[in-house]
Amino acid sequence: MAKIISGKELSARLKAEMAAQVAAFPEKYGRVPHLAVILVGDDPASVSYVTGKAKASVEVGIRNTTIRRPETITETELLELIAGLNADPEVDGILVQLPLPKHIDTDRVIAAIDRSKDVDGFHPLNVAALWQKQPCTLPCTPKGILRMLWAAGVELEGRQAVVVGRSNIVGLPVSKLLLDANATVTMAHSRTSDLGAVTRQADILVVAVGRSKFIKGDMVREGAVVIDVGVNRDPETGRLCGDVDFAVVEPKASVITPVPGGVGPMTICCLMENTIECFLNRHEADAALKK
């Protein structure tokens, strides 16, 4: 029986700690952190993610403004909206819910966010800082994964980590964080030949592919630590499921994350943490200017 790392429980604990921290901010700084979330269109998955972020903000005591715009918004209008939020001293974090409609250049939009308010850690300067081991806002999902591994007491140094998936938001940055933690990291993707042979090498297997129950029991080494990032609909039951076939992998794993209730809640938890970090960094910068 594997130990199951509950992202739901860990995030509840961390959010309670953050709530206690934020409760002291009005007296100390005159206000609480403010997160602005931009939602373009009404894609049900995006609406549900944005709702989850607003709910977590309430739990932590962070002010949340969700700004909804129609699918037809132009890129210029969206960039103007971001420029306004960049200039607003009362806004500490800006998040643009992805994906954006096809007529909008996502990279341009992300790059338009003031780096100091980039709570997602997607701004090119934050990405560059991560790869150069400089202080930066870490992307939420990879940060949440590392938090889970630490909380479960998983040793990373010197161990073999395999990350399946190489996206900018999950696979690449989590590989870098594992490397920084002194794991030996292999990155696998859609062109990897004999994927099972690669994943079976893993002491720590992180899967971010986006395919229901893609990782089967014979692809996992006995005693592996398995982190399932995927959020999919099971075509048979219609229920949420991960990229890992939990029923057959769990008996082989030593530690595993569930879907739902695993990486997802930790992603939102780290967004709250990043918003507080941006708020504190901006206050420190202001205080330094006034010295």
Among all residues, which ones are annotated catalytic? 53, 97, 120
Residue with smaller CB distance to ligand NDP, 114 or 212: 212
* The only residue of 76, 190, 193, 237 in contact with ligand NDP, by rule CB under 6 A: 190
The verdict on 191 binding ligand NDP (CB under 6 A) reads yes
Residue with smaller CB distance to ligand NDP, 32 or 272: 272
The verdict on 215 binding ligand NDP (CB under 6 A) reads no
CB of 254 to ligand NDP, least distance (A): 21
* The only residue of 65, 66, 106, 232 in contact with ligand NDP, by rule CB under 6 A: 232
CB of 242 to ligand NDP, least distance (A): 8
Measured distance CA(201)–CA(160) in Å, rounded? 7
The verdict on 210 binding ligand NDP (CB under 6 A) reads yes
Nearest-Å Rg of the Cα atoms of the chain is 19
Complete DSSP assignment for 192-255: -SSHHHHHTT-SEEEE----TT-B-GGGS-TT-EEEE---EE-TTT--EE-SB-HHHHTTT-SE
Which residues 150-169 are close enough to bind ligand NDP by CB under 6 A?
164-167, 169
| CB of 273 closer than 8 Å to CB of 121 | no
Count of residues engaged in binding ligand NDP, rule: CB under 6 A: 24
Reading the block at residue 281, the tokens are 């960094």
- Strands, E, within 12-141: which ranges? 34-40, 63-69, 93-96
* The only residue of 174, 183, 225, 229 in contact with ligand NDP, by rule CB under 6 A: 229
* The only residue of 61, 121, 139, 264 in contact with ligand NDP, by rule CB under 6 A: 264
- 209 contact partners, CB below 8 Å, separation of at least 6: 164, 165, 230, 243
The verdict on 231 binding ligand NDP (CB under 6 A) reads yes
Residue with smaller CB distance to ligand NDP, 195 or 256: 195
Residue with smaller CB distance to ligand NDP, 93 or 264: 264
Q: How far is CA 105 from CA 2, 117, 215, in A?
A: 43, 20, 33
Bridge partner residues of 160 (DSSP): 184
Measured distance CA(132)–CA(147) in Å, rounded? 21
Reading the block at residue 172, the tokens are 């690449």
Q: Would you tell me which residues interact with ligand NDP (CB under 6 A)?
A: 141, 164-167, 169-171, 188-192, 195, 208-210, 229-232, 263-264, 267
